[in-house]
Chain A
C-alpha cells in the first residue's frame, strides 16, 4: 500500500434534479512512473494509480484509465448529472492492488 494516500473530493451538498454538478477530485499518490532511476542506476519500478471510477447510486459517471504520464497527486475534474438524492462513490485502483475509496452525499431538492 502506498504511504499516506489521501483523497480530497468536492461535491456540492445540494442540487436540483437533473442538474449538472462539477466535481473536483485529488488524491495524494507519488505516481512512480517507472522512468526514474535510483542513485545506483537501477530503475525504480512503476507504481501508479491506474484506474479511477466514479459512480452515483448504481450508475457509472466516469471510468478513467490512467498511465504513468498523469502527474503525481492525480487530479480530475468532470461533470455529473444528479437525477435524485444519493451518494457519489470514488474508487482509485493502485498497481499494487490497493483500492482507495471516498464517498460524498448529495441532496436533490
Chain B
C-alpha cells in the first residue's frame, strides 16, 4: 500500500522534474575517446517509481562532466594507480599478491558489474569490499582493510575501472532476494528528524535543486567516486552514512547488513547503466 502511494506521488512529481540549464541533457559520456558509457536507460522491471534511469554524470555541470572524460583529467585515477601497485605487492603469511591468483587487474573485468552478489560459501550477499577482505584474510593470510579506508576504496576503484562501460547487472532474485527486499524497504522508509527516505529526494525530486545542489537519482554505478568537495575517492557506504546523517537520523555502520542490503538494492536500480567508477562528482 505504501509503495503504491509512493509510486503515485512519485509519478505526479517526476512528470515535472526537468533538468535545469546547468546540465546538458544530451551530453554523451565517452571516456578516453574509447569507453562509451550508457548514462540513460529504461528503468529495470523491478523499479516502479521512475521510467528512465539516469546516471549522476548527467546532472553535473559541463566542467565536472569533462573531468571524467579523460583518465588524465580524472584525479580518481591516481588512486587507481596506487591500487595497481598494491595489486602486485606481496602481502600476508601466504607470500601472495592479488596478482598471484588474478594475474592482472584486467582479468577482473566483469566483476564490478555483478556485485553485490550472493556468495554460496559464505551464505550471504557480499559486496566487493567484503570479497577483497575475504581474499586477504582467507587466501593471503593478511589483515583485512578498513571497510571505507583509503586502501580499500582505491582497490575497489581499480576493480571498477576495468569494468567501465559494462552494464550494471546485479541479481535481484534467487538467494539474494530477501537481502534485496530488505534494501528496497530501507530505500522507501522515512527516517530521521527530517523524516526523509532515499526516495524523497532521489526518486521524487531528482532534477530539482536542493539549495544549490542539483539532485541526481542517486545511482551508485559511478562509485567509488572522486568528489570535488573533499578531493578524494568516496566509497558507497561512506556516502550512505553521509546521506543518512544529513536526514539527521542514526546511521548504520559501513559494512553492516543494512548497508549491504541497501547497496544491493541501489545497484539494481541502476541495472542497465554503465559501470563508471571511478567517476567525478560534486
Contacts and interface: CB of A to CB of B under 8 A. Distances in A.
A27 B77 CA distance: 10
A85 interface: no
A8 interface: yes
Nearest to B80: A8
Interface stretch (A38-46, A50-58, A67-75, A92-100): A67-75
Interface in B48-79: 70, 72-73, 75, 77-79
Contacts of B77: 8, 26
A24 B81 contact: no
Nearest to B151: A4
Interface string A1-36: 000101011100000000000001011100000000
A73 B78 contact: yes
B70 A26 contact: no
B9 interface: no
Given A71-B231, A72-B231, A73-B231, A24 B70 contact: yes
Interface in A70-105: 71-73, 75
B78 A27 contact: yes
A73 B75 contact: yes
B70 A28 contact: no
B72 A10 contact: yes
A24 B78 contact: no
Contacts of B78: 6, 8, 26-28, 73
A4 B75 contact: no
B202 interface: no
A27 B75 CA distance: 8
13 contacts: A4-B82, A4-B150, A6-B78, A6-B81, A6-B82, A8-B72, A10-B72, A26-B72, A26-B75, A27-B78, A71-B231, A73-B75, A73-B231
Given A6-B78, A6-B82, A72-B231, 16 more contacts: A4-B82, A4-B150, A8-B77, A8-B78, A8-B81, A10-B72, A24-B72, A24-B73, A26-B75, A27-B78, A28-B75, A28-B82, A71-B231, A73-B75, A73-B78, A73-B231
Interface of A: 4, 6, 8-10, 24, 26-28, 71-73, 75
